[in-house]
Amino acid sequence: MKRLLFLSLLYLISSCSGENLEKAEQIKIYYGGFKNSDYNQIMRVISDSLTLTEGDYLMNFDRESYYEQFKWDSVFQPKYELILVENHNGQFTATVAVESLRYKFLKNNPLTCELRFSFKSGKITKIENLDCKDANWAMWQKERDSLVNWIKGNHPELDGFVHDLSMVGAQNYLKAISLYKKRTPKKNTTNDI
């Protein structure tokens, strides 16, 4: 009886370890899909619905709408680096560094964040952004607000690009950045003595 109990316990431990290894591998596959620009790779490991959280902001996706998010992100030519995957009592976190044209403009390149992954039925169902330790949110906001305000006054046809999470919205975001960088600085109208 003791031997049977020991073997059952050993099987339970080994199957849990296998499940944990599988979850860590799914996180690697997920970021590999971004790295390889392969949405099919991402689809293999995400559930039919996926929730992303940024603080109090929740974004709910089905596979089709997440593909639109993937296309939006790809316009900025991101480079993802999965730095670390950790398992703390069944809670999986990943540390990820991302470089992109958008982050470069916002002077937060690379942006390194810690994310928590939740799983259901063996698939990723939720990704929570826990912290971006190296982020300079004040600089991010300053650069974004300068861009948005300048576009509003000089290229109103692009106004709203920052909230348009479609591929066209991302392309307009890059156009806005390009136009902003090429702008002629205002001349000082005061008389210098």
What is the average pLDDT across 136-140?
96
Edge-to-edge order in the sheet of strand 79-88: 57-62, 46-54, 123-131, 111-120, 91-99, 79-88
**Least trusted range by pLDDT, from 10-19, 52-61, 71-80:** 10-19
Residue 19: the pLDDT is 65
Rounded CA-CA distance 60/49 in Å is: 7
What is the average pLDDT across 80-106?
95
Percent residues over pLDDT 90 in the chain? 77
Residue 11 scores a pLDDT above 60: no
- Residue 5's pLDDT band, with cuts at 50, 70 and 90, is very low
- Residue 186's pLDDT band, with cuts at 50, 70 and 90, is low
Rounded CA-CA distance 145/162 in Å is: 10
- Residue 12's pLDDT band, with cuts at 50, 70 and 90, is very low
Residue 67: the pLDDT is 96
**Model pLDDT for residues 63-89, shown as the tens digit of each residue:** 999 999 999 999 999 999 999 999 988
On whether the pTM is more than 0.85, the answer is: no
Rounded CA-CA distance 33/167 in Å is: 18
Residue 193: the pLDDT is 45
Domains of the chain, earliest start first: 2-134 (3.10.450.50), 136-183 (no CATH)
**Least trusted range by pLDDT, from 45-49, 85-89, 95-99, 145-149:** 85-89
- Whether residue 113 contacts residue 146, with contact meaning beta carbons closer than 8 Å, is answered with no
